[in-house]
Structure 1
């Protein structure tokens, strides 16, 4: 079965997100844990979360993906910003235990001219502070496009973070198709080669989720502008290859394309029609 969803708004409530997913043919979804451009988080309604979990179980949902706010920068040159990142992620991981055994994804951050190695050290320090042995949530590093001073633009940088974290068994990777294409991994013409490289450097067992996004920019542009499936520089064909790839097809896929729910429904329909059941 193809496990596919899109980004939904938690402001309407947890159960509503599950209902919206079902209406567009999805069997999972992604949501921001709090204001993506700020710090405010909606108070947890345990009954609402319970209703979502019941709905998800009844409809055999795949793993759900929570996304940290964009304001979380664990490797900032500013100490206050780094403390904010620690506090936000610690709070988010506590909140995620209301819906156990799901994923929490974050952008590694921008080192702001300190150098990637210093940025990686800060990220590891944050993760060692917030990760707990008893947590059920798997924390995912997102692959980045290499815009500005982003950390995580190469598999090697992600590997250094994963290797440095004490509780590495609580960690994984979310691969963003737009980001890695923009970063210089040619998944359009050499998908097998890119997946083999990921497996050799990081380990395919660490790949937990995929963001399915086309790119508004050409290959290796080091930008980060998502496009609707098949309307960017990557084309429709690669997405059918990705969802059917033997090392990827079992993963949950999440659309972050710039489109409304009706548009996501059409993208999901296209992907389901292109998925080969085995």
Structure 2
């Protein structure tokens, strides 16, 4: 099982990798830049080379490179969309340099323009950013459906993917809290949810998982992450997911409200329940 958590790379990717190893992780997630936007720090090739060696030594899975929260590709403001597209293009160039990194981003919020218009803008942005076949895996994150978020259903995610010309490496990162809050019952009917995903999107496009419990009840459309086993999904629901054969080769990354010591405890707990 490839399991990690969100770590800071402010002091370098290699040090983040060492921190991951120290808490029993063999994956980790990081922000490509400040989560609220801004200029990204220059990459150090020597640091990345050391990270690659560390990952090979400790049998790491894919890393998750998370895009900025302010990157709204379907905003109702043209200048915001233009800025978001610039961030996307720059992020994809940077992620191509980072060993084993998958790029994950929130599709965006249509801000009362309507879902169809929002999806149209997202497709346009991806087609501008991905102009030829690429080895970089790009993941739309499945969302909880709060406000005017796009990506609250498998159908919306599929529509985006199918609209992108070079979509060979375009996939989905599911978030357990988001999925449950969006009305997909992963606790009582996980197989049905996965069957639906396969029918609508295709399991070959399931590339990563954000593993979280939820502070809110089922189908609440609220995005409130909770520590593993302390929310409405519950420990049994999480254990069922990490042991499901569909997820055998998919990297899991925790986004629970924790410090490093808390992540270490959760990683130990989850590994103790692996079958």
CA distance in 1, matches of 2:129, 2:228: 35
8 Å Cα contact 2:37/2:68 also seen in 1? yes
- Partner of 2:4, secondary structure, is strand
CA distance in 1, matches of 2:121, 2:267: 38
Partner of 1:119: 118
Q: Does 1:27 align with 2:26?
A: yes
| TM-fit CA distance, 1:135 | 3.1
8 Å Cα contact 1:100/1:136 also seen in 2? no
Deviations 1:214-249 (A, max 9, x none): 011111111111000011111100111101111112
TM-score of the two chains, using structure 2 as the length reference: 0.98
Partner of 2:77: 78
Partner of 2:88: 89
Partner of 2:98: 99
How many residues matched?
Answer: 275
Q: Does 1:168 align with 2:172?
A: no
Report the aligned-residue RMSD: 1.0
Partner of 2:263: 264
| TM-fit CA distance, 1:136 | 2.1
Partner of 2:235: 236
Give ranges in structure 1 of 5+ residues lacking alignment: none
CA distance in 2, matches of 1:134, 1:218: 41
8 Å Cα contact 1:214/1:235 also seen in 2? yes
8 Å Cα contact 2:103/2:137 also seen in 1? yes
CA distance in 1, matches of 2:208, 2:130: 19
Give ranges in structure 2 of 5+ residues lacking alignment: none
TM-score of the two chains, using structure 1 as the length reference: 0.97
CA distance in 2, matches of 1:194, 1:170: 22
CA distance in 1, matches of 2:119, 2:103: 19
8 Å Cα contact 2:52/2:99 also seen in 1? no
- Partner of 1:105, secondary structure, is strand
Of stretches 207-216 and 246-255 in structure 1, the one that deviates more from structure 2 is 246-255
8 Å Cα contact 1:101/1:136 also seen in 2? no
Partner of 1:156: 155
Partner of 1:214: 213
8 Å Cα contact 2:133/2:166 also seen in 1? no
Of stretches 128-137 and 148-157 in structure 1, the one that deviates more from structure 2 is 128-137
Deviations 1:116-159 (A, max 9, x none): 00000000000001114353211000000000000000000000
Deviations 1:10-57 (A, max 9, x none): 112110110010000000100000000122211111111111111111
CA distance in 2, matches of 1:202, 1:38: 30
CA distance in 1, matches of 2:248, 2:93: 30
